Amino acid sequence: MAIRPVLRMGDPRLLEKSSSVKKFRTAALKELITDMRDTMASLNGAGLAAPQIGVNLQVVIFGIEGNVRYPDAEEVPFTILINPTLTPVNKEIEEGWEGCLSVPGMRGLVPRFVNLRYQGFDEKGKAIDRTVSDFHARVVQHECDHLAGILYPMRIRDLRNFGFTAELFPGEDIADD
Ligand code: NI
């Protein structure tokens, strides 16, 4: 296990498209997922995508259970999602505040589909097929964007709704990372 450095916005590797995982149950995949879990936990992240630690593969992890960075967020079960496909259930879009471990200390208001079906595989190659909404749907869209080389600031409609966490939410107890 290892906590790996998280690449920050500006690093060109965050803008690349990731390749699909071809083989499951390999030592390399297991090690990658362990490192992602350790890294996300050490930073209290809600999610992490493999390219954020410099690995160009379609692997994301996410989950929120009593997270200090998102104290008011609904709980999302811890999930390992590989080779994901996202399908919006309908056209309903909502804006919500997001942060990212690759954009530390900042938050932005980002439009996302409210209702989302996502499919993919877990670390053993078992199929995942879920239909979710609201914050769960937002987290999945954010993490899977990383696999397409998209960071959330690229989706902000009005850049007045982008800034430093402490300035946007003065007096609120939100982790500054
Ligand atoms: Ni992110």
Closest CA to 79 of 49, 116, 44: 49
What does DSSP say about strands 162-164 and 127-133: parallel, antiparallel, or unpaired?
unpaired
- Name all domains of the chain by residue range, CATH numbers in brackets: 12-168 (3.90.45.10)
Q: How far is the CA of 99 from the centre of ligand 1 (A)?
A: 7
The CA-based dihedral angle spanning residues 29, 38, 60, 161, taken in that order and rounded to the nearest 10 degrees: -160
Position 75 scores a pLDDT of 87
Residues belonging to the active site: 143
Say yes or no to pLDDT of 152 above 70: yes
Residues flanking ion ligand 1, Cβ below 5 Å = 100
Position 172 scores a pLDDT of 77
Q: How far is the CA of 92 from the centre of ligand 1 (A)?
A: 22
Please give the residue that has the higher pLDDT: either 175 or 161. 161
Closest CA to 84 of 115, 114, 108, 118: 118
Q: What is the mean pLDDT of the chain?
A: 94
Compute the average pLDDT of residues 1-28. Answer: 96
Model confidence, pTM: 0.94
* Per-residue pLDDT reduced to its tens digit, 61-115: 999 887 666 667 788 999 999 999 999 999 999 999 999 999 999 999 999 999 9
Q: How far is the CA of 28 from the centre of ligand 1 (A)?
A: 23
* Per-residue pLDDT reduced to its tens digit, 101-151: 999 999 999 999 999 999 999 999 999 999 999 999 999 999 999 999 999
